[in-house]
Homo-oligomer: A and B are copies of this chain.
Amino acid sequence: MAKAEKFSVVGQRVQRVDGFDKVTGESKYIADIILPGMLLGKILRSPYPHARILRIDTSKAEHLRGVRAVVTAEDTLKRPWGAFFADQYILSVGKARYVGEEVAAVAAVDLDVAEEALALIDVEWEPLPAVFDAEEAMKAGAPLVHDDKKRNIAVTLDIERGNIQRAFAESDIIVEDTFQSAPQWHCSIETIGSVAEYASSGKYTIYMNSQTLFNARYRIAAALGVPETDIRIIQSAVGGGFGGKSCDDNNALVAAILARKAGKPVKVINSREEEFLAGCRPRVFMKIDVKLGFKKDGRIRAKHIRIIADNGAYSAKAPAITGVAAMRHDTCYKYSDVKTQAYLVYTNKIPTGAFRGFGNPSAEWAVEQAIDIGAHELGIDPMEIARINAAESGYVSPHGNRVTSCELKQCLDMTEKMMDWKKKRADKKPNTGLGLACTVHVSGKRHFGDYDGSSATIKINEDGKALILSGEGEIGQGVHTAMCQIAAEELGVRVEDVEISKADTDLTTFCLGAFASRLTYISGNAVKNAASNVKQQLFQQASEMLEANADDLISHGGRIFVKGAEGKFVTVADAARARLFRHNGAPIVGSGSFDADSVLPDKTRFGNESGAYNYGVQAAQVEVDRETGQVKVLQYVIASDCGTVIYPIGAEGQVEGGFAQGIGYALIEGLQFDEGRPVNPNFSDYRIPSMRDLPPLTHAFADSYEPTGPFGAKGLGELNMDPTAAVISNAIFDAVGVRIKTLPITPEKVLKALTEKG
């Protein structure tokens, strides 16, 4: 089916539904949430990467004028919590395991008093030997991050599909190399923050800039030891999420216990430094060994990957991320025999976690370079290697991923054309080169409780306007606009006539939230189903009014009419009012739900993890300055297959934003540690790309239709962050023949490699 053309609202460059609020400054970010009597909270953090707490004396702080509550682990259940493993505490119990860990907190009438009170909390520390490197931490005798665990390895994966030994034996050439990825922070313009309120009935109401409200509810309930219903999460406007606002941290929990103790609402917002030290969980840094076997014709015959991943002191989502790094890319190309080994290891550093791309950017950084090495060794155009191996619709990966739509080859064609690849390769200039990489991502992922679904309720007001009630929050990506477009398309109304509620766990039904590029696909389907239910009710009423069969009706632009007879119509408002104001009247309201037709991976991690897979290709032309090592990206092209594009302006924003973070990951970003202590936790020293750092970008969406998607749509958000680092590295190799294998690709590293090469 052809994209967008047949739709009235889907695919249109509509106005963003939260645009007015954004441009007028009326959006209420967490800083704007001000409740009567609200106090401000600050957190005392561990100055040590690993240290026992011998004693905490809070009495001086408690007596400071203006202080309303001081909390330590004594105010908690001292019970660990966590996304996958319960190993993290609200406030340090017994010892602290990384620099920045939450030890105590204060709520006071203003921030100055709160900070003064923090200084008055007396903690007697006993520093302990610490371990900062994952490989070191794996060794016998390394200091144990968690005393109750026998070793520092949190997760071990060892999976073989097919016969890897035979496959390498049958390979014509073998490529083997090691690549290292870097810590990367989300650097959302808004840091993590919460405002918590406690009612004496036992209910906590927490305003959060979370991207996963129901997961936050579940985790907070578990950590506080109360039923889910006692936690109400209301999403404030979110100034960027990128995986970092998934409630893997303690911010909201600290606000909650402060609020309970103070008997007043408490706001806790991370400073920028706190955000780096212990806020959003940065990208898992990995050391990745890749071994690939190729046939002479370019077919990949065997793949072996071995990953050592740094968990930091506590497990947030790193267990899942490690699995993704180890396996996801096997859905990009037609693999038969693969082996994957991975170790997730505790260290005395900030817990790592979810960041746009999950494990993909690390894995693709390694694998897409290994493929490029193979292409060069075989003397095959990297574009051709990709084409030869590219997945197609119908492909089933060695791990059971079932591809229902795939336009990877189309994306390769588009990239080739947009980059003028053949001509540029033919006319290669000195010190310039071309690089390419392919990528795959999911549209949702089945791992929370055998569910990868969403739900929504839609009601029609008496003026014919629709309101979507959904717990899927907007985090800046524009998904609320896409959801309104999907509802409008299904209902046959204008997008201006569809509103969407704030996400609020009390008032909406269960939704998993924003991760795994799932929302347009999953919540889009839920909204479409709810709208379809509502449309049925509208058509039933309209059929009486138009004296026609409901099956013969269609709706368009807010009017309902018999197909082919647009002249005689009732409006959606007419039908809604007529359904309500009559004998046996009722408002029009319908709920809809969707759960992806995916499979919870089994013990060997086999199973179709997602309902749909999105694909992309990126290519760069770079020029390397041999004097300075400086890499200049001359041109960048991206082709994305996300099925039908629902909200083009938002989708383009996703491509551009993902690409910018990819460039940062490739060339600029990386937190530096000194004995576990971050040395550049601020925007002066931790640089992210600005507009000046971004090369010209040419982008296009493939003509694609995902049969299980809402109007053919699938995911997109993370896709364009994933392969960028490999693209740049491949292009540098093409330009000057050196290959950088550790991120970021700094001029120093390039210069050093050039010098070594001589």
Contacts and interface: CB of A to CB of B under 8 A. Distances in A.
Contact of A586 (B455, B497, B589): B455
B507 A453 contact: no
Contacts of A21: 199, 201
A229 B595 contact: no
Contacts of A589: 455, 457, 509, 591
A589 B449 CA distance: 19
Interface in A490-529: 497, 499, 501, 506-507, 509-510
A36 interface: yes
Contacts of A451: 580-582, 585
Contacts of A581: 448-451
A229 B450 contact: no
Nearest to A586: B593
Contacts of A455: 586-587, 589
A449 B462 CA distance: 12
Interface stretch (A150-158, A160-168, A379-387, A463-471): A463-471
A692 interface: no
A1 interface: no
Interface in A439-492: 448-451, 453, 455, 457, 459, 461-463, 465, 467, 469
A111 to B, nearest CB: 17
A20 B203 CA distance: 11
A201 B18 CA distance: 9
A584 interface: yes
Nearest to A465: B229
Contact of A469 (B453, B465, B507, B580): B507
A606 interface: no
B26 A199 contact: yes
Contact of A463 (B200, B227, B461): B227
A543 to B, nearest CB: 19
A229 B507 CA distance: 18
Contacts of A585: 450-451, 453, 595
In the complex, which of the residues A26, A509, A593 has the most CB atoms of chain B within 10 Å of its own CB atom? A509
A512 to B, nearest CB: 10
A690 interface: no
Contacts of A510: 462, 580, 587
A288 to B, nearest CB: 33
A32 interface: yes
A218 interface: yes
Contact of A509 (B32, B465, B587): B587
Nearest to A505: B461
Contact of A501 (B20, B26, B507, B582): B507
A273 interface: no
Contacts of A590: 591
Interface string A121-156: 000000000000000000000000000000000000
A684 interface: no
A228 interface: yes
Nearest to A18: B201
Contact of A461 (B229, B449, B577): B229
Interface in A11-35: 20-21, 24, 26, 32, 34
Interface of A: 20-21, 24, 26, 32, 34, 36, 199-201, 218, 221, 227-229, 448-451, 453, 455, 457, 459, 461-463, 465, 467, 469, 497, 499, 501, 506-507, 509-510, 577, 580-587, 589-591, 593, 595, 597, 599
11 contacts: A21-B201, A228-B463, A228-B465, A449-B577, A450-B582, A455-B587, A457-B591, A469-B507, A501-B507, A509-B587, A583-B599
Q: Which 3 A-B pairs have the closest CB atoms?
A: A449-B581, A586-B593, A20-B201
